[in-house]
Amino acid sequence: MRNKLTVSFSPHVHSGDSIQKNMYGVLIALIPALLVSLYFYGLGALVVTVTSVLACLVFEWAINKFIMKKDECTICDGSAAITGVLLAFNLPSNLPIWIILIGALFAIGVGKMSFGGLGNNPFNPALAGRVFLLLSFPVQMTTWPEVGQLASYVDVATTATPLAIMKGVINGAPGMSLSDLPSSLQLFIGQNPGSLGEVSAVALLIGLIYMLIRRIITWHIPVSILVTVSVFTGIMHGINPEVYASPLTHLLTGGLMLGAVFMATDYVTSPMSKSGMLLYGVCIGILTVVIRLFGAYPEGMSFAILIMNAFTPLINIYFKPKRFGEVAKKKK
């Protein structure tokens, strides 16, 4: 019997969209960020991205064919390729290939296929793979190459990320100051160390604009996340500007923009109603700020999204759209 995937509450009206069309649309939106990562990290970015994408495709094909015994080929719908790109975008450019393969296997095998494949996974597979690697290989996952080492891969000079500097200042680390942070322009274009896909805010914003124009996603989740982070970091910056960085710095650093645009908006793991999306985005923004400012990790975006992925079914139950043809009851 053919599996059917319900993606929204009834009634269902065909709009001409398809899973494959939207997935490849997201891949197109990721191209600017990929080009920037190749420009700043060169060979390392290429090796990490190609390895991650190929591994995700191979693992999904093998699991489908030999474990789940399905004849249907799912690697052509674009979802495995997106998982591979997004996983790569959450990794440093000098990460060893064998660790990338483990992350891809966890993302596809555990994060996606163990729940039945696309449409059934409760958590974003790429983020699941990233967090698994972060907990399993914390040293390798937090060793960041300096920008501009184009011809090198493993043997590279490393440096602290802007988020590490911000966390050090909050924790009172000696010798660290917010003045050590890159300028807003450097953060905007991507001239700062970090994971492949989190370095350039402008490239990610170009992808956001493209997806909004093509109606691949709506504005509700990314805008609610960014506004929430701006408000709460602005409050903390106003209380103590020498310890807490400005809202603009928070928006342009780390995986905030990548998560808000490409990961929190995942069709399967995000709410379906607009009001539910707004609540989902606000909660992600609050959790991200709390983890960044008061948690053990410098970055909180991945954890925040995964936590809210778990609450998505409850949000969908509470924020149900009005039934088709339902007439509002008059107040007595």
Is 197 within 8 Å of 83 (Cβ atoms)? no
Averaged over 196-209, what is the pLDDT?
A: 92
Q: What is the Cα–Cα distance from 97 to 260, expressed in whole angstroms?
A: 27
Of residues 121, 116, 53, the one with CA closest to residue 85: 53
Provide the mean pLDDT of the chain. Answer: 88
Q: Please report, in angstroms and rounded to a whole number, the separation of the first and last CA atoms in the chain.
A: 50
Which helix (H) or strand (E) segment holds residue 292: the answer is helix 274-294
Domain boundaries, the chain: 19-318
Question: Using one digit for the tens of pLDDT, what is the confidence trace for 265-324?
Answer: 999 999 999 999 999 999 999 999 999 999 988 889 999 999 999 999 999 999 876 665
Report the percentage of the chain scoring pLDDT > 70: 88
**Pair 245, 237: CB distance under 8 Å:** yes
Classified as helix, coil or strand, 144 is strand
- pLDDT for position 156: 56
Cβ burial, residue 314 (10 Å; 0-12/13-18/19+): exposed
Residue 8 pLDDT > 70, yes or no? Answer: no
Question: Which of 36-40, 82-86, 133-137, 302-306 has the least mean pLDDT?
Answer: 36-40
Asked if 162 contacts 254 with a C-beta cutoff of 8 angstroms, the reply is: yes
CB atoms within 10 A of CB 185: 10
Whether residue 12 is predicted with pLDDT greater than 50 in this model: the reply is: no
Is residue 73 over pLDDT 60? yes
Partners of 145 in beta bridges: 158
Question: Rounded to 5, what percent of the chain is helix, strand, coil?
Answer: 60, 0, 40
Q: Report CA torsion sign: 105, 266, 207, 14.
A: positive
Q: Check whether 328 has a pLDDT greater than 90.
A: no
Do residues 132 and 106 lie in contact, with contact meaning Cβ atoms separated by under 8 Å?
yes
The string of pLDDT tens digits covering residues 134-188 is: 999 999 998 888 776 665 555 555 667 889 899 999 998 888 889 888 888 888 9
Contact (Cβ atoms closer than 8 angstroms) between residue 162 and residue 199: no
Largest CA distance in the chain: 75
